[in-house]
Amino acid sequence: LPRAAPRPCPAAGVSQVTVRDALNQALDEELERDERVFLLGEEVAQYDGAYKISRGLWKKYGDKRVIDTPISEMGFTGIAVGAAMAGLRPVCEFMTFNFSMQAIDQVINSAAKTCYMSAGSIAVPIVFRGPNGASAGVAAQHSQCFAAWYGHCPGLKVVSPWSSEDAKGLLKASVRDDNPVVMLENELLYGVPFEMSEQAQSKDFVVPIGKAKIERQGTHVTLVSHSRPVGHCLEAAAVLAKEGVECEVINLRTIRPMDIETVEASVVKTNHLVTVEGGWPQFGVGAEICARIMEGSAFNYLDAPAVRVTGADVPMPYAKILEDNCLPQVKDIIFAVKKTLNI
């Protein structure tokens, strides 16, 4: 009998790492590298974090570097911003970004605007991080995507990772940045393993803020997304490839500053654009991408109107079947691609 074909071996140094472990690794390395870095938030210390992102860090670094706070976002965010102004480099965790609304005055008025209002004399090197967007069955008050909210504000940088490589590299870059950075993670990705190269697991690895990544090359249509929907786009691209449609999938990684050049170059090649996001449609990330493409030279290369795939324009329902219908699914992306290609 013929032998089964041998399975391809993973590349040397490549291993599977969950997004949770990648974030934990990044925090550990940055706490070790720079004594000015500290982590604060609800349950980040003795409980190892609500999502175990800070697992083991309190035992390793102690009370001064990993700090449990009361349930008072306005209070501990203000403390963190003041510490950043005084020369420390805080990582401020929100148990969910929905709770950042309690502290949005500190994030916008205190952190984002101070460098400008002080004519550059006061830097605010701080990272606001935590899970963003819809999880599963947590209803309307815990399911908003804040990419458009914070991406709207000058003075902030906003990053939105998808893979473990994104998560580690963007968190390390954010901690080292001298500006306030909002890092929008996704709870449903925390336990998902991704391949990470030996280079990505090194202590020197960072992902530059403001640079998108082409996750899949294609020639027929450009799919632009961020966070968890990047995975949906890749699934849709795999299905469409069987029908002869080659999608180019772009993982934005950064919401602000937005890497529109990478999107433009892709649109020039494919002549079609579909944006995909879990947030609401009005004034969303996809709306911004479409406007920027329309205003630039890539507009002349479009052979059809750009199409947006977004969350439904309603507060998130609790029931699972309604929740599924409120969030972009693979079938919705396939439908949008066929619509824009007129097939």
Catalytic residue among 30, 42, 142, 277: 142
Q: Can you tell me the mean pLDDT for 78-96? A: 97
- pTM beyond 0.85: yes
Mean pLDDT, range 40-59, rounded to an integer: 96
Rounded to whole angstroms, the Cα distance separating 170 from 127 reads 11
Residues β-bridged to residue 247: 221
pLDDT score of 329 more than 50: yes
Q: What is the CATH number of domain 17-201?
A: 3.40.50.970
- Of 73, 93, 187, 288, the catalytic one is 73
Give the H or E element holding residue 236: helix 229-241
**Does CATH number 3.40.50.920 belong to domain 213-341?**
yes
C-alpha–C-alpha distance, residues 143 and 184, integer Å: 13
- What residue ranges of the chain are covered by domains with CATH 3.40.50.970? 17-201
295-319 pLDDT tens trace: 999 999 999 999 999 999 999 999 9
Copy the structure tokens of residue 221: 């249509």
If residue 117 lies in a helix (H) or strand (E), which one and from where to where?
helix 114-117
Q: What is the mean pLDDT of the chain?
A: 95
What pLDDT does 13 receive? 76
- Residue 330 token pair: 């693979």
Is pLDDT of 5 > 80? no
CA distance 327 to 309: 9
Q: Is the pLDDT of residue 6 over 50?
A: no
Q: pLDDT, tens digit, for every residue of 257-295?
A: 999 999 999 999 999 999 999 999 999 999 999 999 999
Residues of the chain with CATH 3.40.50.920: 213-341
Predicted confidence (pLDDT) per residue in 153-207, tens digit: 999 999 999 999 999 999 999 999 999 999 999 999 999 999 999 999 999 999 9
Active site residue 185: no
142 labelled catalytic? yes
Residue type, 183: M
